[in-house]
Amino acid sequence: TQGQVITCKAAVAWEPNKPLVIEDVQVAPPQAGEVRVKILFTALCHTDAYTWSGKDPEGLFPCILGHEAAGIVESVGEGVTEVQPGDHVIPCYQAECRECKFCKSGKTNLCGKVRAATGVGVMMNDRKSRFSVNGKPIYHFMGTSTFSQYTVVHDVSVAKIDPQAPLDKVCLLGCGVPTGLGAVWNTAKVESGSIVAVFGLGTVGLAVAEGAKAAGASRIIGIDIDSKKFDTAKNFGVTEFVNPKDHDKPIQQVIVDLTDGGVDYSFECIGNVSVMRAALECCHKGWGTSVIVGVAASGQEISTRPFQLVTGRVWKGTAFGGFKSRSQVPWLVDKYMKKEIKVDEYITHNLTLLDINKAFDLMHEGGCLRCVLKT
Ligand code: NAD
Ligand code: AHE
Ligand code: ZN
């Protein structure tokens, strides 16, 4: 197949909110600096649903969504040295080129090398897509487009991992789990003994709880409007549960009252701007830090009284938990192999790519954390 167009199955989002359609998609060979990957397993993240909904200002249609996956390199373009056909890989929507201003700064995991292209659904080289259906181009998504049996990614957007690692599990290390763990370890740098509040107990929020427990947090307060979430959340380290619906007071007041003035760290893992405000305002005066993890819809803005910051609260955000993707995803895979982090526990459903619409339906049901699709 090297050097040739591959025709394979992919789930195409033709229009916002319209069911995805499994199409025969043509995938062009990788050009210079590109890698074609046979995707074996892909999970669904809330962000895929967000872009599909039409509320993502960067959402382009038709496109192939998906960004939490694992696969095997099928072929590489000219000049690609760090991976070769047969390597087991995880596509990384947050690239790491190690050469740009961002990568060299040591201050961030954001990378500038291909971001301009991935934000508009094309590849850097020729600003075109490698996907088409009967000659009609289909946009890439987040530089990954994993809802396809084959995809083309930039070489700076692919992490080579231990070939022994089960791809049907470690696909989750492409987004949700690292995001939660890293929000705690890299962005907030939670210390032992801290009191932590986690808003939203989906995969990202539970990974925050897992990370906080590992960091030695003394209390981990989970907040969700779905009380059924608490049972599972306990297994990830949540020590107390609060459902905002059970209280008349604003949720920030409830948390402040529970914690003698507020938490040391809070994490918003929903994408709701009023919850982001509550998460900041439930932080302790003088030092409490709130991390925004959730992705909010186009046009939404956050607000609070500046006095909240003047009096020492800190507002931060995180992308992919601050992890440098190509360097640290293999490390996370190794940690999973050594049973130092959970992954299997976040997988509640397994389906095939053909059932992707059903998988999106499941996402909106309470019992679903991650659904892994075999492609
Ligand atoms: P999810 O849908 O599985 O979980 C969200 C949880 O929030 C659910 O349990 C839901 O019941 C709860 N919830 C909804 N509204 C609430 C409210 N008002 N108060 C309390 N709880 C509420 O989603 P997920 O896959 O875990 O992702 C969480 C968020 O993180 C999404 O916005 C996603 O786009 C974002 N995300 C960001 C990054 C990043 O790099 N920053 C990475 C991955 C995901
Ligand atoms: N396109 C959206 C922004 C989406 C967003 O913030 N994405 C996160 C990852 S979410 C993964 O589930 C991210 O990494 N952002 C940094 C970046 O470079 O995109 C919008 O609202 O415009
Ligand atoms: Zn995601």
Torsion of CA 69, 73, 77, 78, to 10 degrees: 120
Q: Are 16 and 141 in contact (CB under 8 A)?
A: no
Could you count the other beta carbons within 10 Å of the beta carbon of residue 1? 14
What residues have a C-beta under 5 A from ligand 3, the ion?
45, 47, 175
**Which residue is associated with the tokens 């990202």?**
204
What type of residue sits at position 352? T
Crossing angle for the helix pair 273-281 and 251-258, nearest 10 degrees?
Answer: 30
The CA distances from residue 308 to 260, 283, 314, in Å, are 17, 9, 8
Ligand 2 binding site (Cβ under 6 Å of any ligand atom): 45, 47, 56-58, 94, 110, 115, 175, 295, 319-320
pLDDT, one tens digit per residue, over 228-256 is 999 999 999 999 999 999 999 999 999 99
Q: Which residues, in sequence order, are CB contacts of 366 under 8 Å at separation 6+?
A: 226, 228, 229
| Token duo for residue 190 | 């939670």
Position 259 scores a pLDDT of 98
Nearest CA to ligand 2 atom 15: 319
CA proximity to 157, closest of 107, 102, 115 = 115
Torsion of CA 229, 234, 236, 237, to 10 degrees: 130
Atom of ligand 1 nearest to the CA of 204: 26
Atom of ligand 1 nearest to the CA of 296: 32
Indicate the length of the chain as a whole number.
Answer: 375
Ligand nearest to the CA of 49: 1
* Chain centre to alpha carbon of residue 30: 25
Q: Which residues are catalytic?
A: 45-47, 67-68, 97, 100, 103, 111, 115, 175, 370
Ligand nearest to the CA of 269: 1
List per-residue pLDDT tens for the chain, 375 residues long: 899 999 999 999 999 999 999 999 999 999 999 999 999 999 999 999 999 999 999 999 999 999 999 999 999 999 999 999 999 999 999 999 999 999 999 999 999 999 999 999 999 999 999 999 999 999 999 999 999 999 999 999 999 999 999 999 999 999 999 999 999 999 999 999 999 999 999 999 999 999 999 999 999 999 999 999 999 999 999 999 999 999 999 999 999 999 999 999 999 999 999 999 999 999 999 999 999 999 999 999 999 999 999 999 999 999 999 999 999 999 999 999 999 999 999 999 999 999 999 999 999 887 899 999 999
Q: How far apart are CA 96 and CA 331, in angstroms?
A: 15
Q: Are 82 and 97 in contact (CB under 8 A)?
A: no
Nearest CA to ligand 2 atom 9: 319
Ligand 2 mean position, distance from CA 319 (Å): 7
Ligand 1 binding site (Cβ under 6 Å of any ligand atom): 45-47, 50, 175-176, 179, 199-205, 223-226, 229, 244, 269-272, 275, 293-295, 318-320
268 forms beta bridges with 199, 292
* Chain centre to alpha carbon of residue 371: 14
Q: Which phi and psi angles does 253 have, rounded to 5°? A: -70, -40
If one residue of 44, 46, 266 were mutated to test the ligand 1 pocket, choosing by the most ligand atoms within 8 A of its CB, it would be 46
Q: Which residues, in sequence order, are CB contacts of 134 under 8 Å at separation 6+?
A: none
Position 167 scores a pLDDT of 98
Beta strands per DSSP E along 123-239:
131-133, 136-138, 150-154, 158-160, 195-199, 219-223
* Chain centre to alpha carbon of residue 142: 11
Element of type H or E holding 266: strand 265-268
Q: Is the dihedral of CA 268, 273, 274, 280 positive or negative?
A: positive
Nearest CA to ligand 1 atom 25: 46
Position 367 scores a pLDDT of 87
